[in-house]
Structure 1
Amino acid sequence: MKNTLSSKELKVTVDTFGAEMHSVKKSGIEYIWQADPEFWGRHAPVLFPIVGKLKNGEYTYDDKTYTMGGHGFARDNEFQLVKHTGDELIYELKNSDETLEHYPFKFTFQVSYKLTANKIRVRYTVKNEDEKIMKFGVGAHPAFNVPLKNGEFENYSLTISPVEERTFIPLNGAAGTLKVSESETVADYKKHLTHELFAGDALVYSSSPKTEVTLANNLDEHSVKVSWENMPYFGLWSPYPKEAGFVCIEPWYGLADDDATDGDLSTKFGINSLEAGKEFNCEFTIEFN
């Protein structure tokens, strides 16, 4: 079921399936990728309880092996709408017999969309409903149309702020896993878009305590800015060799498996821990111009 939020500047549509944002329109322009299955059949999936892919699609926990698809199962589950006001939507997913077959923790996971003028604040809340420490990852995967209005893909660029050195972690594109041992310090702060930029799959970086990534062009004033604090990683992605008309800006609290992982969820690179009965929150903001 689709729900909407509206301000004087934006109209936002979110689906209860996956708690996924489907549309953001401003002045007649659609900013969100419309899920053409020829290229990528999603809009802005929510990633939980892992980010990225597991090596061989599986992991172990407490001497038991579990399987899980890339980016977790939240994006393929129906959420319950628990709040709908004039400016906010809150969706909730709880553990079930089916989730426990793939993920051995009891949880409540909420996704909130709050609209103010030309900005959307997205907040993730993870509650550990279990009696043991919970291991998890959570993140975003919004896809933005390129071009937004004028020009071509190559007229756009991604600008990362602040301008400083950060860690780049290359991906093993064939497996979807990270090559952590080949990480390097880079001074990347502006990436001019070409489809070949993503020939090695997503570009994965460490975040600064406060990070902004702006998608803009050299022809008009239309842009998207994604900003966050204390989400330790982010990815930039567009499919290759397909020449799709979108790029994803993805703040993450978690990562794909390292190539060298032993498969144990407890020691997974980038995994997070949450004590029994405790709650975790993180958020990011998308500004549409």
Structure 2
Amino acid sequence: MTTTKISNDVLSIVIQDFGAELHSIQKDNVEYLWQGDPDFWARQAPVLFPIVGKLKNGSYTYDNETFKLGGHGFARDQVFELLESEEDAVVFELRANRETREVYPFEFRLRITYKLVGNQLTVQWEVKNLDDQEMYFGIGAHPAFNVPLENGKFEDYRLTITPAHPRQYIPLNPATGVLDLSQKHVVDQTEFALTRELFKDDALVFETPEATEVCLSSTVNDRSVKISWENMPFVGLWSPYPAEAPFVCIEPWCGIADDQNTDGDLTTKFGINALAHGKKFKASYTITIN
């Protein structure tokens, strides 16, 4: 595994080529990114592609063929090529290969750019369809942030979703990890005090049809993390339960887990993206560190 560092006067960032995954986010010598511990969760900020979440029965069908594919897809377990590296920006690339074709029958190019501006890190995904047919995919983020940030305890922190208005909540089945769309409903709550019980039913999943931000902040210091995005229709908020893990994930997604009533057809999967031959799909999110 090789790591690459980018920095400016405010932030220092480390990305590893394995999964093109964030490995460190530091400000004032304080580490904001979860550093991974297999006793809780060994990963840190995996890129979810070509699916987000789990598939019903761990498989999908396409063109009358069934493919097995693990939760969150394969990009997080692939070594990306470092295409460009500057002091404050870096670009990684993954292309379809023999291993990916066994579980995902499309030719693609995935580029991930990390760019620093002041106290902000912007992460951009670019998916290009190199196949001669329409391709179907999901892509999402899964960054985990230390709680506490420098001091305090887990319960001193909160998550706040902006804009502060009612939004659709989609329950997950903790036993299977798939959605129950029949139980989707509107919730008014937009601020969540962190407790272990908050995540007893797995991730909190919301629809985000507009520009949205989620802020992790505390009552004991001024340090915070804010994730903001546009044109990403879902977000998941997660920390393991019942383990007392010292982190929380804020996950904007262009894709989502299967519904429990799905027929498994990739082309009609809830939340799937379709991309024509030769076309590009772009999405980005920004992490603001205070």
Structure-1-length-normalised TM-score: 0.99
Write out aligned runs for 1:70-149 (5 A): 70-149=71-150
2:269 alignment counterpart: 268
- 2:64 maps to a residue whose letter is D
Write out aligned runs for 1:1-289 (5 A): 1-289=2-290
Distance 1:17 1:188 in 2: 37
- 1:129 maps to a residue whose letter is L
- 1:173 maps to a residue whose letter is P
Displacement after TM superposition at 1:188 (Å):
2.0
Question: Does structure 2 retain, via aligned residues, the 8 Å contact 1:172–1:200?
Answer: yes
- 1:88-132 deviation line (CA, Å, top 9, x unaligned): 110000001111110010000011100111110000000000011
1:172 match: secondary structure: coil
1:177 match: secondary structure: coil
Distance 2:129 2:32 in 1: 34
Displacement after TM superposition at 1:87 (Å):
1.2
- 2:114 maps to a residue whose letter is Y
Unaligned runs of 5+ in 1: none
Distance 2:119 2:251 in 1: 19
RMSD after superposition: 0.6
Question: Does structure 2 retain, via aligned residues, the 8 Å contact 1:162–1:208?
Answer: no
The answer to which of 202-211 and 249-258 deviates more is 202-211
Distance 1:245 1:100 in 2: 37
2:10 match: secondary structure: coil
Distance 1:278 1:64 in 2: 25
Structure-2-length-normalised TM-score: 0.99
Displacement after TM superposition at 1:261 (Å):
0.5
Instruction: Give the percent of matched residue pairs that are identical in Structure 1 and Structure 2.
Output: 55
- 1:259 maps to a residue whose letter is Q
Distance 1:260 1:208 in 2: 23
1:43 match: secondary structure: coil
Distance 2:45 2:72 in 1: 12
- 1:29 maps to a residue whose letter is V
2:102 match: secondary structure: helix
Distance 1:264 1:208 in 2: 24
1:103 match: secondary structure: coil
